[in-house]
Amino acid sequence: MPIRNAIADDVDEIHRLISELAVYERLAHEAVATASQIRRHGFGRRRYFETLICRRGRDPIGFALYFFTYSTFLGRPTLYLEDLFVLPEERGRGAGRALLGELARIATRRGCGRMEWAVLDWNTPSIRFYQKLGAKLRRQWILTRLTGAPLSRLARGSRLRHGGPP
């Protein structure tokens, strides 16, 4: 299963796969990212994420978008998998496992102490797949998010002690 690092020429394909992921997750109404934003943030001067592309022949059939965080408890980086998606007609043929295997190699090579990601609680096929790989669901942790107006309000009310912008 050929997997490679995405390049800027893959942006339209990445954007299309993200859109298909959003439909699958019943979150299309939240998917407002543009190809231009993906190009700027993934392939610009300051890269916020990296992407792997999986192909069957010339056609992209899946992708994994990831970045690195830091575990203060482990004292090591963490590879955080933001999105993993394989086209529905390609599932069960090894693409998801191949993408996760490549991510595990990257995490190991970069000295990560763990890989983490979130899965929707209704997505039973994915949960079973991850558990078969040995992944443990951390049900005691609750994903917490600030976005939109609440994020802006908090930002406006916050200043560093020296009074300058954060």
Active site residues per annotation: 130
* Contact assessment for residue 22 and residue 28, using Cβ atoms and an 8 Å cutoff: yes
Side chain identity, residue 63? F
Inter-CA distances, 64 with 16, 59, 109, 153, Å: 13, 15, 17, 32
Q: Are strands 50-56 and 59-71 parallel, antiparallel or unpaired?
A: antiparallel
In terms of phi and psi (left: phi > 0; alpha: psi -120 to 50; beta: otherwise), the region of 80 is: beta
